[in-house]
Amino acid sequence: MYVAGRSLGECDPEDIMLHAAELMGMSLRLRFNELTRLHTDHLGRSERFPKFSIDEPTMANLAQSSYDLMPRPTTLRLDPRLNPVLAFACWMRLRGGASGFIFPAFKVTSGKMQVYPTQPAGTSVFTALLRRLHGPCGVLDAGELATHTAKRSGCQLYKALGQADVWLMIEGGWTNPSSFMRYTALCNRKEQRFSYHRPGSW
C-alpha cells in the first residue's frame, strides 16, 4: 500500500493516524472525544463501505446509532487526499487487526509505533498532533485547533459542496440552530462569528 508515492512503512505513523482521524471525523461528523470511543466491535459493513453500529448506553449521547464511513459526495473517492475509506484502510493496516479501540493508546519509538488496543487514545493526543503537524502547513492559528476541529471541518466542507443545512443538522445530531451555526461559522466565539477579526478558537 502506497501513500503519496511512499510505501506505508516509510510514512510517519502519527501522520497516518491523524489523517485517518481527521477524515473519519469529517465524514462521520464526530468530535475527537467521540471518535476515540469507536471500537472494532462496532465495525461492520454496509454495501461496499465500513459501518459502525453503536448501541452501548455509554455512547447514547451520539447523534446516531449507526455511521456509514463513505465519501460524500461519492466523487470524493476519486481524490485519495479526501477519501475517508482509504485513510481508514491505511491506518488499520498500520494499527493491526487486534480487537480493541480503532484509535488506541500508542507509543512511537525510532519511527515505529506500538499500539495498546485495550486503551483508547486520549483526545489531548489528537489536539497536540493537530497543532504540531498543521502549523508548518500554514494553518492560521494552528494552536487554536481542538477536539471539534474535524466535525467543524466536515460540516463546512459538506456545506461548501452544496449539502442543505437540514441534512447537516440531521447527520450531525443538531436540534438547536444556534449550536449548528457555531460549526458553520468561521470560529465559535459569538463576538467574532461574523467579523473579519483574527479568528479565535476553532
Identify which of 90, 143, 134 has the alpha carbon closest to the alpha carbon of residue 113. Answer: 90
pLDDT of res. 197:
46
- In this prediction, residue 114 has a pLDDT band, given cuts at 50, 70 and 90, of very high
Which of 4-18, 74-88, 156-170 has the least mean pLDDT? Answer: 74-88
C-alpha cell, 96: 493491526
pLDDT over 50 at 195, yes or no: no
pLDDT of res. 155:
86
pLDDT of res. 115:
94
pLDDT of res. 107:
92
Highest mean pLDDT range out of 58-67, 87-96, 192-201? 87-96
* Domains of the chain as residue ranges with CATH: 2-192 (1.10.443.10)
Contacts of 94 (CB under 8 A, 6+ apart): 8, 13, 16, 17, 113
Model-level pTM? 0.78
CA distance 82 to 75: 10
Highest mean pLDDT range out of 75-79, 80-84, 175-179? 175-179
Long-range contacts of 115-123 (CB under 8 A, 24+ apart): 117/40, 120/36, 120/37, 121/36, 122/36, 123/32, 123/33, 123/36, 123/147
Nearest-Å Rg of the Cα atoms of the chain is 17
